């Protein structure tokens, strides 16, 4: 087995440097997601039963249409919910907090 040439070493080092930069960018992205999630939790104003968990809008007959978050089992208005698809390609709703958490 022969030693690597200086050019081969430089190519390998460049790949390692690029991977390290990508790691830093990904860690920053995750940090921003965590911060955003914490802020959303802190600012949640409703009870998730008769009020939207996030914006506290009144839900029900006299209020907005509510949807049920499949993860936290709380009610949110359709503005604070996100419709997505589950494993069996069935539509399901998540509140914005649970949607962010999944990300």
Lookup: tokens for 98: 């649970």
Q: For the chain, what's the residue count?
A: 103
Start-to-end Cα distance in the chain? 45
Q: Are 96 and 48 in contact (CB under 8 A)?
A: no
* Least confident range of 2-6, 50-54, 59-63, 98-102: 59-63
pLDDT one-digit tens code per residue, 20-73: 999 999 999 999 989 999 998 898 899 999 999 999 999 988 878 899 999 999
How sure is the predictor about 1, in pLDDT bands with cuts at 50, 70 and 90?
A: low
Spatial CB neighbours of 67, under 8 Å, sequence gap ≥ 6 = 75, 76, 77, 78, 81, 83, 93
Q: Are 33 and 96 in contact (CB under 8 A)?
A: no
Residue 87: is its pLDDT beyond 80? no
Q: What distance in Å separates the CA atoms of residue 56 and residue 42, rounded to the nearest whole number?
A: 13
Q: What distance in Å separates the CA atoms of residue 58 and residue 72, rounded to the nearest whole number?
A: 19
pLDDT one-digit tens code per residue, 20-32: 999 999 999 999 9
Domains in the chain (CATH in brackets) are 6-102 (3.30.40.10)
Q: What distance in Å separates the CA atoms of residue 80 and residue 67, rounded to the nearest whole number?
A: 9
pLDDT one-digit tens code per residue, 8-17: 999 999 999 9
């Amino acid at each position: 087995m022969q030693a690597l040439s200086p050019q081969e070493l430089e190519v390998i080092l460049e790949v390692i440097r690029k991977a390290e930069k990508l790691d830093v960018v990904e860690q920053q992205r995750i940090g921003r997601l965590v911060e955003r999630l914490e802020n959303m939790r802190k600012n949640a104003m409703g009870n998730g039963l008769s009020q939207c968990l996030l914006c506290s809008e009144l839900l029900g007959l006299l209020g907005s249409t509510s949807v049920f978050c499949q993860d936290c089992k709380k009610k949110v208005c359709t503005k604070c919910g996100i419709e997505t698809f589950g494993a069996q390609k069935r539509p399901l709703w998540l509140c914005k907090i649970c949607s962010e958490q999944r990300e």
